[in-house]
Structure 1
Amino acid sequence: MTSGSPRALSGWFRPKRPSEPALITDPGERRAIVIELVIVFTTTLGLSGLRSLLSLLDRLLRPEPLNEQSVAINVPQAALSLLDFARQLTSVLQLLAWGALGVYLLWRGGIALRRIGLDRLQPGRDFLQGLGLAALIGVPGLGFYLVTLAIGINLAVVPSTLDAEWWRSLVLVLSSIGNSWAEEVLVVAYVLTRLRQLGWSENAGLLFAAVLRGSYHLYQGFGGFLGNIVMGLIYGRYWQRTNRLWALIVGHAMIDIVAFVGYALLADSISWLP
Structure 2
Amino acid sequence: MPERSASERPAPGRPSPERPSPERPAPAPQGGLVVPALSRPDKTRLYWEVAIVLGLSLGASAVYSIVSIIARLTDVTPLAEQSATLNGSQSPREWLDFTYQFLGIVFGVFAVALVLFLLWRPGLSAFRRIGFDLTRPGRDVLGGLGLLLVIGIPGLGLYLAGRALGFTVAVVPSPIDTFWWTIPILVLSALRAALLEEIIVVGYLFTRLRELGWSRWTIILSSAVLRGSYHLYQGIGPFFGNVAMGVVFGWCYERWGRTMPLVVTHWLLDILSFVGYPLALAWFPGLLAPAS
Q: Same fold (TM over 0.5)?
A: yes
Provide the C-alpha distance between the structure 2 equivalents of 1:109 and 1:193, rounded to a whole number of angstroms: 16
Say whether 1:58 aligns with 2:71. yes
Deviations 1:167-213 (CA, angstroms, capped at 9, x unpaired) = 11111100000000010001101111100000000000111100000
Which residue matches 1:90? 103
Residue 89 of structure 1 aligns with an amino acid whose one-letter code is F
Which residue matches 1:206? 220
Which residue matches 2:282? 268
Say whether 1:253 aligns with 2:267. yes
Provide the C-alpha distance between the structure 1 equivalents of 2:168 and 2:271, rounded to a whole number of angstroms: 21
Deviations 1:219-253 (CA, angstroms, capped at 9, x unpaired) = 00111111000000000110011111100000000
Q: Is the 8 A contact 1:23 1:199 kept in 2?
A: no
Change (3 A) 1:229 1:172: same
SS of the counterpart of 2:288?
coil
Which residue matches 1:36? 49
Superposition pairs of residues 29-178 of structure 1, within 5 angstroms: 29-108=42-121, 112=125, 113-161=127-175, 164-178=178-192
Superposition pairs of residues 192-231 of structure 1, within 5 angstroms: 192-231=206-245
Aligned residues: 258
SS of the counterpart of 2:84?
strand
Deviations 1:133-152 (CA, angstroms, capped at 9, x unpaired) = 11110111000011011111
Provide the C-alpha distance between the structure 1 equivalents of 2:181 and 2:153, rounded to a whole number of angstroms: 27
Which residue matches 1:12? none
Provide the C-alpha distance between the structure 1 equivalents of 2:85 and 2:31, rounded to a whole number of angstroms: 40
RMSD: 1.7
Shift of 1:63: 1.2
Deviations 1:103-157 (CA, angstroms, capped at 9, x unpaired) = 1111158753323111321111101111111111011100001101111111111
For structure 2, list consecutive stretches of 5 or more residues without a partner in the other structure: 1-29
Q: TM-score normalised to the size of structure 2? A: 0.84
Provide the C-alpha distance between the structure 2 equivalents of 1:222 and 1:23, rounded to a whole number of angstroms: 39
SS of the counterpart of 1:78?
coil
The range that moved more, 162-171 or 28-37, is: 162-171
Provide the C-alpha distance between the structure 1 equivalents of 2:230 and 2:36, rounded to a whole number of angstroms: 29
Provide the C-alpha distance between the structure 2 equivalents of 1:30 and 1:110, rounded to a whole number of angstroms: 23
Provide the C-alpha distance between the structure 1 equivalents of 2:174 and 2:251, rounded to a whole number of angstroms: 30
Q: TM-score normalised to the size of structure 1? A: 0.89
The range that moved more, 193-202 or 107-116, is: 107-116
Which residue matches 2:194? 180
Query: Would you identify which runs of 4 or more consecutive aligned residues in structure 1 move more than 4 Å?
Result: 108-111
Provide the C-alpha distance between the structure 1 equivalents of 2:216 and 2:176, rounded to a whole number of angstroms: 41
Q: Is the 8 A contact 1:69 1:156 kept in 2?
A: yes
Residue 48 of structure 2 aligns with an amino acid whose one-letter code is I
Q: Is the 8 A contact 1:24 1:30 kept in 2?
A: no
Q: Is the 8 A contact 2:176 2:275 kept in 1?
A: no
SS of the counterpart of 1:267?
helix
Shift of 1:255: 0.4
Residue 257 of structure 1 aligns with an amino acid whose one-letter code is I
Identity of aligned residues (%): 43
For structure 1, list consecutive stretches of 5 or more residues without a partner in the other structure: 1-15
Shift of 1:18: 4.8
Q: Is the 8 A contact 1:154 1:223 kept in 2?
A: yes
Shift of 1:269: 3.6
Provide the C-alpha distance between the structure 2 equivalents of 1:110 and 1:28, rounded to a whole number of angstroms: 24
Rg: which structure is higher?
2
Which residue matches 2:24? none
Which of the pair is proportionally richer in helix?
1
